[in-house]
Amino acid sequence: MTTTNSSGDVRLSGISKTYGSFTAVHPLDLTVPQGSFFALLGASGCGKTTTLRMIAGLEEPTSGTVSLGEQDVTRLPPYKRPVNTVFQSYALFPHLDIFENVAFGLRRRGIKSVKKQVEEMLDLVQLGEQARKKPHQLSGGQQQRVAVARALINHPKVLLLDEPLGALDLKLRRQMQLELKRIQTEVGITFVHVTHDQEEAMTMADTVAVMNAGRVEQLGAPADLYENPRTTFVANFLGTSNLIEAEVDTRSGEEIVLKAGGGKLTLPSERCSAPTTTGGKVLVGVRPEKISLTHADDAGEIPDGRNRVTGRIADASFIGVSTQYVIDSPAGPELAVYVQNVDRDTRLAPGAEVVLHWSPAHTFGLDASQDIE
Ligand code: ATP
């Protein structure tokens, strides 16, 4: 087993964690590229915090190794690893002002002249004006930025963030996501971020590992995971997926044709993670915003080569920039379609007979024997 790597990557090799007879993390291989913003995403209890804590050294792995760059750190205590962790509870020192909170790590190492470094760090997190305030005088988002500054001042190779925005309200959370991304880009060190919020992971991370029941189900760039999920869990965790039960009709090299809802659907082979023997069952998915709607009377206007299913509008609601339709179809109940820039006059009303159509390139195929989460 490889226990070193030549770059500054974080590498987990066969890492696992069991508590008694319960396996929190199954043996897992994962490489976090140096300088990337990497998210561990999953529902509560899926093992993401345990994985993060094994990188930090706060949890001893049951098997496997953790290496940082060329160094195997598996047996090193946390304080000897070139990593720092920011927790959801900011854990600032209440009696110290912001400057001294940030300076803490330097002073503990016996460094006397801290002013320049602390000021630079406070500027980085845009708190230069708040240096002499106490933590309780700052907002939640500002306190979290102090926690980030305090961690970064030690120049870790990797910053670990365990649900750091979990205590913030939604608006502040969104602001802090962009702020953390900006900070990461500016300092250029590796960030490993744990979250259960798919939007947060998608906004911030270059690479996302979607975890489920102690395993990484899929790893990839946010857009790839969203547009080409390989399991029903990933498809549904990252958004609405409109899964339609289909049966393989024919397969020719690059294309699979499936029977569904009385019609046929086409799918590029590389976008199908299910076995594709003729007659086999596949769940066909398409994201709601990739679907167009045409009134059944105008179906002749739909260009050739589009996937299409018929349906009837069950519900139409105007949500800010888009109109969200719910459609009953022989292909599946309650298909979701989001259409932007619909004005009042052209909005389709409940009861209207419609054709849903979309490009085969936006279609994905999943193994129908998997549980639908
Ligand atoms: P959350 O978002 O709720 O923190 P998580 O995905 O981070 O969830 P972990 O904290 O990694 O999940 O926990 C994974 C599983 O391991 C959970 O079922 C949890 O109950 C279990 N677990 C974690 N720590 C221990 C422990 N010290 N003893 C026993 N079981 C544990």
Using one digit for the tens of pLDDT, what is the confidence trace for 162-182?
998 887 888 888 988 998 999
pLDDT attached to residue 140: 86
Q: Does 84 lie in the same domain as 156?
A: yes
CA of 338 to the centre of ligand 1 (A): 36
Question: 247 in a domain, yes or no?
Answer: yes
Question: 4 in a domain, yes or no?
Answer: no
Question: 265 in a domain, yes or no?
Answer: yes
Domain stop point among 216, 236, 256: 236
120: three-class secondary structure by DSSP: helix
Percent of the chain with pLDDT over 90: 75
Give the binding-site residues of ligand 1, using a 6 Å CB cut-off. 19, 22, 24, 42, 44-50, 196
Percent of the chain with pLDDT over 70: 97
Q: Does 222 lie in the same domain as 252?
A: no
Q: Does 226 lie in the same domain as 355?
A: no
CA of 19 to the centre of ligand 1 (A): 10
Q: Does 194 lie in the same domain as 51?
A: yes
Q: Does 111 lie in the same domain as 156?
A: yes
CA of 31 to the centre of ligand 1 (A): 22
Residue type, 345: D
**Cα within 13 Å of Cα(163), Cβ side:** 14
pLDDT attached to residue 162: 93
Question: 160 in a domain, yes or no?
Answer: yes
Cα radius of gyration (the chain): 25
- The ipTM estimated for the assembled molecules is 0.94
CA of 51 to the centre of ligand 1 (A): 10
Hey, whose CA ends up nearest to atom 27 of ligand 1? 19
Query: How many domains are there within the chain?
Result: 2
8 A C-beta contact, residue 211 and residue 26: no
Cα angle 317, 371, 266; round to 5: 65
Q: Can you tell me which atom of ligand 1 is nearest the CA of 47? A: 11
Q: Does 29 lie in the same domain as 96?
A: yes
Q: Does 362 lie in the same domain as 285?
A: yes
CA of 251 to the centre of ligand 1 (A): 43
Q: Which domain holds residue 299?
A: 239-367
Question: 1 in a domain, yes or no?
Answer: no
Q: Can you tell me which atom of ligand 1 is nearest the CA of 25? A: 14
Domain stop point among 207, 236, 265: 236
Query: Which domain CATH number covers 162?
Result: 3.40.50.300
pLDDT band at 350 (very low <50, low <70, confident <90, very high): very high
Q: Does 349 lie in the same domain as 249?
A: yes
pLDDT in tens, 306-332: 999 999 999 999 887 889 999 999 988
Question: 372 in a domain, yes or no?
Answer: no
Mean pLDDT of the chain: 91
Q: Does 111 lie in the same domain as 45?
A: yes
Query: Which domain CATH number covers 300?
Result: 2.40.50.100
Buried b (16+ CB within 10 A) or exposed e, 153-174: beebbbbbbbbbbbebeeebbe
Residue type, 288: P
Domain stop point among 190, 206, 236: 236
Q: Does 231 lie in the same domain as 105?
A: yes
Question: 2 in a domain, yes or no?
Answer: no
Whole-structure pTM value: 0.89
Q: Does 185 lie in the same domain as 298?
A: no
Report the pLDDT averaged over residues 264-277: 91
Hey, whose CA ends up nearest to atom 19 of ligand 1? 45
324: three-class secondary structure by DSSP: strand
Q: Does 271 lie in the same domain as 207?
A: no
Question: 41 in a domain, yes or no?
Answer: yes
